[in-house]
Copies of this chain bind each other. A is one copy, B any other.
Amino acid sequence: LSVILKDPALIRNQQSQLCALLQIDEEVAKLLQLKAQLGGDEGKHQFVLKTAKETLTGKYGEDSKLIYDLKDQGGELLSLRYDLTVPFARYLAMNKITNIKRYHIAKVYRRDNPAMTRGRYREFYQCDFDIAGQYDAMIPDAECLKIVYEILSELDLGDFRIKVNDRRILDGMFAVCGVPDEKFRTICSTVDKLDKMPWEEVRREMVEEKGLSEQAADQIGEYVSMQGGMDLAERLLQDQKLSQSKLACAGLADIKQLFSYLQLFQVTDKVVFDLSLARGLDYYTGIIYEAVLTQAGVAAACGEAQNGAGGEESVSVGSVAGGGRYDGLVGMFDPKGRKVPCVGVSIGIERIFSIMEQKAEASAEKIRTTQVQVMVASAQKNLLEERLKLITELWSAGIKAEVMYKKNPKLLSQLQHCEEAGIPLVAILGEQELKDGVVKLRVVASREEVDVSRAELISEIKRRTAEV
């Protein structure tokens, strides 16, 4: 009754398989291959499972007219959502919400090259937390970082760093380094690549592809190599060049303020002010941040390229969370341009799942795919009724129990199923047990068996499963 499949691999698999709506290229290719294998048009079951529409056709009888056909929606341009942030902003604007704190776990879609082993898919879940509202500076921002810190600590993924920067510091830096205004965004995108390529390549892209002067690029190079904490923010506030930018000073003052709150939240051991952090998205207006796992072991397991930036740092295995402040986005959806300041974070749950899976595989520890605590089994034939009676008792007591859907299953196959599924206990009924008013309780791991009276069975199961 309470058998819940929680295997992340299964969920992942179903996530793309169960969703018939999206006809992604690989799937089409796979199906065409399948068709080829079937040898074309011979045999009774000749058919091509080609499109999602055909997948749904002929299944629902007269209700088929209710199927939502995207083609019929008036020929409008439609897109699948790219992230949860823009839809959130649209929701706030259209419902005139000025204060909210919420999390949202849902699917988003990217026209990207998937890399299954590294947890990169075209259709995947995002897990966002955002705080919207006009508040005093850096308090909600600090809470977002605290949340990232807590999540990554509790998931026990290995060591991590949360890099922090501010869009205004980047823009101020670009200005004082002599980057023309119209090149801020594109140079920012190039800086964002520092976590994937070494400085030399980034510099070449700036100069050769984006036409920046060598002098400007080198000045940027000096800044983006800087990492530190509140001390670095204080030092840069005194920096002769950077302090000429009002934008940069506002950003640096906020970084200082942020670190004072992070100290109170006891998370500064993992947070680093890193001027190379740029983040690609246009909508950020202030603080930006990104969490990366730094454990060498995980890096090897994930087969990931080494981090180019900060050579003496531990190896980064890529971003597992990121976010920042986006004070202008809600206003873009409001007819009167009314702004609602927002700060949020997106947790890369797919990537985190993928890392957890690889760790689990490496540890050779068996992952239970069921929450079932006890299997109700029988030692002889013709005991289905007794099994159903007993499982009803257990279910009523809130115990997660399972029974095989066979009239006369073999005891061995019942026990084997428990071993395979990781069900810790078996309640075995036999004719002798029924006569004696007992149940034979078997511990799957130790194969220990004890007779327990029917009256005490529930409390005995609860006691034993509480230990686990």
Given contacts A60-B281, A94-B17, whether A79 and B68 have CB atoms under 8 Å apart is yes
Count residues of A near B (Cβ-Cβ below 8 Å).
Answer: 112
The reply to whether A49 and B333 form a contact with Cβ atoms under 8 Å apart is yes
Q: Point out the residue from B28, B76, B143 that lies within 8 Å of A1, measured CB to CB.
A: B143
CB <8 Å contact, A28 and B59 = no
B-contacting residues, A285-335, CB 8 Å = 329, 332-335
Number of copies: 2
Question: Which B residues are in CB contact (< 8 Å) with A403?
Answer: 139
Question: Which residue on chain B has the smallest CB distance to residue A331?
Answer: B45
Kindly list chain B residues whose C-beta atoms are within 8 Å of the C-beta of A18. 84, 87-88, 90-91, 104, 106
- Chain B residues within an 8 Å CB radius of A26: none
Query: Which residues of chain B come closer than 8 Å to A186, judged between CB atoms?
Result: 62
Rounded to whole angstroms, the CA-CA distance of A78 and B27 in the bound complex is 14
State the majority secondary structure of interface residues on A: mixed
**In the complex the two chains form, is A389's CB within 8 Å of B147's CB?**
no
Q: Measured between alpha carbons, how far is A439 from B17 in the docked complex, in Å?
A: 54
Interface residue A131 (Cβ < 8 Å from any Cβ of B): yes
In residues 69-113 of chain A, which contact B (Cβ within 8 Å)? Answer: 69-71, 73-74, 76-84, 86-88, 90-91, 94-95, 100-104, 106, 109-112
- Asked if A38 CB lies within 8 Å of chain B CBs, one says yes
Q: Which of A24, A63, A135 has the most C-beta atoms of chain B within 10 angstroms of its own C-beta?
A: A63
- Pair A77/B60 contact, Cβ less than 8 Å: no
**CB < 8 Å: which of B54, B76, B86, B282 contacts A51?**
B76
* B50 pairs with A76, CB closer than 8 A: yes
Q: Give the residues from 234 to 275 in chain A that come closer than 8 angstroms, CB to CB, to chain B.
A: 260-261, 264-266
* 8 closest cross-chain pairs (CB), A and B: A135-B405, A53-B77, A61-B282, A68-B109, A264-B388, A68-B80, A139-B405, A17-B91
